[in-house]
Structure 1
Amino acid sequence: MPFPNAVLETNIAQLTHEYDAYVLVSNTLSSQHYPDIQQNLEQHQSLDKRVGGHAVLVAADVVGGRLLQVPVGQLDRDYDDVRRIFDAARNVAQTLLDSGVRKPLLEINLAGLNESQAAQFKNAVEAAYLGLCQGLWQPLEARQALDEHEIEPIEFIGLIDGSSSIDVSRLNAIEAGKRIARDLCGTEPERMAPPGFADYCVAAFKGSNVKVTVVSDDAHIKHEYPLLHAVARASIEVKRHRPRIIRMVYEPSGEITKTLLFAGKGITFDTGGADLKVNGHMAGMSRDKGGAAGVAGFMKTLSLLAPKGIKVIAELGAVRNSIGAEAFIPDEIITSHAGVRVRVGNTDAEGRMLLADLLSHLREDAVSAVNPQLFSVATLTGHAAMAFGPYTALVENKPARDMGIAKQLFVQGELCADQVEPSLSRREDFDFVKPRTKADDVLSSNNAPSVTTMRGHQFPMAFLTIASGLDKHEASAKQPLPFTHVDIAGSGIEGLDWQHGKPTGAPVNVFVNTYL
């Protein structure tokens, strides 16, 4: 799976590769490596007023004979962050291709910042490289149907840095993970139906240090993952749509000091089930597998970096929420893997059903694990997107809050252009899902859209806590288990364009920068 590899260059006079353009990503017209660039650009500015405000390509005495200056705008305001760099690089990707650039050498030069401001942009080179890769990525279907080298012609990206402080192997590992996340999330629902999703994961980790096992037996899934199986019921009669459980385990050599456990929502297509999505809202629902995709991407980066001390277990549920005579329906009461009686409130709240069973299995792993931290990752609610826009929503239980897990993710997200916004789990959320009769133990959802429901992205975490049995591991319990719910409904796709927008690979980068 080729992608533009990052190459570190430390001396402009002794380059290791041949480049055909010099790309200056900057907040001024100056360069650290070419003192004459500013004068060149100022002269050109008298002819083209776009210089300094828009990306412009000019002839210059630089590597490749041409200079592309990419302005990032003002960086010293309270609300400026490293996304200015990421976005500028991403947005210029098509300009590079249209200009015929195939071997770019990037310089990132941010001038005039004080010490505090400069600290916010310490990962600017990483952001520029990953932003450019985001802009250059093309969907798996396009790469298979067309000449991959024609639509993704850039094989490497040079990064000029005289301090030699850039770890390009780390950058390449992050992009490899994000690319897998984009492929799994963004590929159409037949190519990436549950068996295809599982096959892609198996192939992606073949021969690696991550052990991948796939559960496909229907009787086993029904017994061990009853909520997940209910969601899949209407899909089982179609062989190519049958559900899969993908379990991934990375175990380091030597002593384990921390264990991360991830449940990933992989709804390969969401019709809404019996509560059918109408008025055009079904389009784009092949991307409802973004949570599982993001976890798989993180596991890929993990496998390439192979850190010591940290063990990671992931369970991904790949399921199609189909409609038909066998579809699960509201008012059903289904007992979860944890033995909790779940009353179905709305079949379009299917993601939390499968996550609850996955978390229940991971809970069993966690009780004997070293310093465990549990996460569920999902494109779960429109409310998260409405509340936070393009940011990942985090909802913690008290053990996680006491450990400052969301705070750590927030700090790292700000530095790596993969931002998160924490929310609190409140008593109202648990009241919202409490049973109304003695026939059940918990309600999965109300029957209104999350975007019109107060605390629409917070209350599902209460359901997950109860239905998975994690409520037996709260802060006052003998064995507390920190659990953080991660909702990427707003951050998983560019511009919230679920049918056509590029997947972002969220939250791969923030987890890598926090834990690896």
Structure 2
Amino acid sequence: MVVLQFFQVSSDALTSSNVDWDALIIISQNPLAVPFESVRTALLQQAAIDKRIGQQVVLSLCPSVPGQRLITAPVQIDDEYGDVSVYAEVAQQAISQAQASGAKRPLMWVEHNPQPQFVQALEVAAFGCAQQLWLPLEAREAGHHAAIESLGLLDVSAETALQLTALEAGKSLTRDLCGTEPERMAPYAFADYCVKSLAGTDVQVEVIDDIDTLLSDYPLMCAVGRASLSVERHQPRVVQLEYRPVGEVRHTLLIAGKGVIFDTGGASIKVGGGMSGMSRDKGGAAAVAGFMKTIGLLQPAGVRVVAQLGLVRNSIGSDAYVPDEIIASHAGVRVRIGNTDAEGRLVLADLLSHLRLAAKDAVQPQLFSVATLTSHAGRAYGRHFATVPNSVAQPVLAANFTAVARVAGEPAMLSPLAHEDFSVISDTSLAADVLSSMHLGSSMVTRGHQLATAFIVTASGLAKHGANAKQPLPFMHLDIAGAAIEGDPRYGKPTAVPLQTFWHYLQQLI
């Protein structure tokens, strides 16, 4: 795994004689007002003959900076509706210019923006660079590598540079797991990649691969993977991850990640080219694994984190599960299958049932699920992910988490549950307790991603831990279907959403 390294660099390094760095990127609302006098003088001279300076991302010759390469990247901010992600977009353009020019170790300066919504501008810009430079695992294994592997950050603390590198290590792991094709990252390979990537951190890893155990303890997930059981490399896995801090535990996060290695739609087969890109349906599990990598490196105090990743292939075959089947979940809830292409919610229900039991004895537990779950969320919110809380999480947790996401450059939309979401999915025949889904795809159903969350709450047993229960448990589902991939949803780069949000939310808890 290749990780872009961030380094603390003093502004004293801005001399042409510095051979450690070979370019300077300026990201500012007004690059012509940069506080470095020699750079400002050069820019003003260039602006007199090149009207693009301060208006577009431009590479120019500047003898006073390392490598004589100067990239100016103006930030255009919409004061009413803009968010910090504009810094990532500008940084991606700038780092592309730097790499194309032959730079290998550029410096970057990001102007401080005092507005609260832009407090993480430097971090967002740095990760924009990393996102642009990342190459797929298959490309790296074929011998391709980004020319830039280090980025110097001017006037930041050493602690900030270290934290950003650890966050990027988690994001890089997420991209590798999510973005790699389904045979190279089959369930066993995904699990192995997690084990190897988390070795040497403070995260304990256990892989459950015994088929009898999986069939008994994860019945819904194994129904999804039933047609894959005859192919050894496609057989399901559950990866259990746990981080325990040194000292007192004051909060516990319990997170389920959907890792559908490939989603054919099962018996409700995807048609019209709909299968293309479905190797990215493991983005939720990938993001959770990446988050565990980051906290294993940074070792935050006071917060215990437990995660389960459900790795399964929704295959087509003579033993595939089909609509109308009734299958009991791990929590003992009888589930009638409505559409086998609504498989992710089945995986999450079993994982969360186990985490629900673990939460009963945990200190200040909060439960989450993360998944590229419904096309409905993607169509409703685009690049924003949906935060769907239960009644316990609704008053405070959901609002805080959603606000953190926006500041972190991973904007989210709060999408509360309603009474009708649970009414719609009830099985009125009494043959089952709950419908897994409507017979149509989620994007064709009113409140598609809320219905999916209502099912997860019900089938996992969390419905018995609502606001008025003896032991209320706060839970929030994160539907990242529209946010997990940048650009082309089939072959674009994974974003690692919502890893940054989780980290900054965790920092609030400490």
TM-score with structure 1 length normalisation?
A: 0.95
1:31–1:109 CA contact under 8 A, matched in 2 = no
- Residue 466 of structure 2 corresponds to which residue in structure 1? 474
Aligned identity (percent) is 48
Q: Does 1:417 align with 2:409?
A: yes
Output the amino acid matched with 1:27.
Q
Distance in 2, matches of 1:332 and 1:93, equals 52
Distance 1:324 1:262 in 2: 31
Give the C-alpha shift of residue 253 in structure 1. 1.4
* Aligned 1:229-240 pairs, distance under 5 A: 229-240=222-233
Partner residue of 2:342?
349
Aligned to 2:279: 286
Kept after mapping to 2: 8 A contact 1:384/1:487: yes
| Superposition deviation, residue 91 in structure 1 | 2.8
* 8 Å CA contact 1:291, 1:377 repeated in 2: yes
Is 1:157 the counterpart of 2:151 in the alignment?
yes
Alpha-carbon distance, 1:63 to partner: 2.4
Q: Deviations over 1:416-458 (max 9, x none)?
A: 2111111111011001110121110000000112112110111
Verify: 1:144 aligned to 2:141, yes or no.
Answer: yes
Q: Which moved more, 1:36-45 or 1:119-128?
A: 36-45
Q: CA RMSD in A?
A: 1.6
Distance in structure 2 (CA, Å) of the matches to 1:237 and 1:191:
18
| Separation (CA, whole Å) in 1 of partners of 2:80 and 2:143 | 44
The aligned residue for residue 67 of structure 2 is 64
Match 1:438 to one of 415, 430, 440: 430
Distance in 2 (CA, whole Å) between partners of 1:157 and 1:382 is: 36
Give the structure 2 partner of residue 34 of structure 1.
36
2:25 to 19, 23, 26: 23
> Greater CA deviation, 10-19 or 229-238?
10-19
Aligned to 1:129: 126
Structure-1 separation of matches of 2:328 and 2:273: 33
Conserved 8 A contact 1:30-1:109: no
In the alignment, structure 2 segments of 5+ residues that lack a partner are none
Q: How does 1:80-229 map to 2 (within 5 A)?
A: 80-110=82-112, 115=114, 117=115, 119-147=116-144, 151-161=145-155, 164=157, 167-229=160-222
1:269-308 pair list within 5 angstroms: 269-308=262-301
2:490 to 484, 487, 499: 499
The answer (yes or no) to whether the contact 2:71–2:97 under 8 Å persists in 1 is no
State the number of aligned residues: 504
How far has the Cα of 1:43 moved from its partner? 3.1
- The CA distance in 2 between the partners of 1:9 and 1:385, in whole Å, is 40
User: Matched residues in 2 for 1:234 and 1:310: separation?
Assistant: 39
Distance in 2 of aligned mates of 1:215 and 1:459: 30
TM-score scaled by structure 2?
0.96
Structure 1 residues 232-257: Cα deviation after superposition (integer angstroms, max 9, x where no partner): 00001111111000000111111110
C-alpha distance in 1 between matches for 2:119 and 2:67:
28
Q: Which residue of 2 aligns with 1:5?
A: 5
2:242 counterpart of 1:246: no
Match for 2:59: what amino acid? Answer: L
Measure, in 2, the Cα distance between the counterparts of 1:17 and 1:460: 55
Residue identity opposite 1:382 in structure 2: S
Gaps of 5+ in 1: none
Aligned partners of 1:76 and 1:488: how far apart in 2?
Answer: 25
Give the corresponding residue for 1:50. 52
Q: Which residue of 1 aligns with 2:375?
A: 382
Residues 281 and 372, structure 2, Cα contact 8 Å, conserved in 1 = yes
